[in-house]
Amino acid sequence: MEAKSSTDLLRRVKSVNGHMRAVERMIEEDAYCIDVIKQIQAVQAALNKISVQILDGHLHSCVVTAVNSDDARERERVLGEIAEVFEAATKV
């Protein structure tokens, strides 16, 4: 992963962490349920954005390398990993 993208991802993760602390405080303070749900949805959206960025980097590095490889098992392994990620995402 590039240093620039790692820095951006870490910034985003730290932001999500801050939002999660806000959710924790809201629950402790018995905040209005809809406000808590909206905050959780914002966290989920931010995590989805992080996942998309990581997947994009993976597709443009590891997957491209594997697809261009002469090793058919490596190609299948990498493609299988991606399929597993999408399968897991649909089980949520």
Tell me the backbone φ, ψ of residue 30, rounded to 5 degrees.
55, 50
Whole-model pTM: value is 0.82
Q: Which domains does the chain have, with CATH numbers?
A: 3-90 (1.20.58.1000)
Report the candidate in 57, 64, 88 with the shortest Cα–Cα distance to residue 78.
64
- What does the alpha-carbon distance between residue 73 and residue 66 come to, in Å, rounded to a whole number? 9
C-alpha 53/C-alpha 38 separation (Å) is: 23
| pLDDT in 10s for each residue of the chain, 92 residues | 676 789 999 999 999 999 999 999 999 999 999 999 999 999 999 999 999 999 999 999 999 999 898 999 999 999 999 999 989 888 86
**One-letter amino acid for residue 34 of the chain:** I
